Amino acid sequence: MNEHEQTLKDCFERIKDELRYQINQRSEVGDPLDMVYGYLCDLYEDWLARVEPKEEGNTMTIEHEGVRVTATNFTPSLDELKAYGDFVKAHVDNVTSIKVTLCDNDEVDIQWTAHNQRFERIRRITGYLVGTIDRWNDSKQAEEHDRVKHNPKL
């Protein structure tokens, strides 16, 4: 965690403590501060999960710019793990998670998952390769409507 993130963490904790103190002083049922405190705690936990690496056994996981980056069989620095994430994101679109594993020969194996790319069916209609004809002008749509479709029966 860098200095800026540590300062932000300290600020969050001071605000949480002050809110809890104010709620205890007022002790009203259904106090709006209770809702604010709950929201702040949720926000803080979500932020903390993104900036503090989680270590379980020989695995370390961070959330970096919306992508989960996991290191297995070694403990890299936070900057190194972010660099692996940046490298994959620069070369692959729609990445959702990245797994970096240290191999026996001191090289790393990088695997990733990505959202499926949406694709359209392409057809050859009246000499043009098209996905849809909704952007054609009226005369071209009329030509497509009037064409003879060949369906040989086998």
| Cα gap 22→20, rounded to integer Å | 6
pLDDT digits (tens, 9 = 90+) for 19-47: 777 777 766 666 677 777 777 777 777 77
pTM for the predicted model, two decimal places: 0.46
Percent of the chain past pLDDT 90, that is, above it, reads: 3
Give the list of residues 6+ apart from residue 132 with CB closer than 8 angstroms, or none. 120
Q: What pLDDT score was predicted for residue 93? A: 84
Looking at 62-66, 111-115, 134-138, 147-151, which range is the least confident one?
A: 147-151
In the chain, domain spans: 1-52, 53-116, 119-147
Residue 92 has pLDDT above 60, yes or no: yes
Q: Which of 18-22, 86-90, 144-148 has the highest mean pLDDT?
A: 86-90
Please state at what angle helix 3-26 crosses helix 32-51, rounded to 10 degrees.
Answer: 160
Strand boundaries in the chain, DSSP class E: 54-56, 59-64, 67-72, 95-102, 108-114, 123-125, 128-130
Q: Cβ(140)–Cβ(121) under 8 Å? A: no
Residue 90 has pLDDT above 70, yes or no: yes
Handedness of CA 50, 51, 55, 60 (dihedral sign): positive
| Cα gap 95→6, rounded to integer Å | 28
Q: Which two tokens stand for residue 7?
A: 């300062």
Residue 154 has pLDDT above 60, yes or no: no
Percent of the chain past pLDDT 70, that is, above it, reads: 82
pLDDT digits (tens, 9 = 90+) for 48-79: 766 666 666 678 888 888 888 888 888 888 88
Q: For residue 142, what pLDDT band results from cuts at 50, 70 and 90?
A: confident
Q: Which amino acid is at 69?
A: V
Q: Give CA 95 to chain center in angstroms.
A: 7
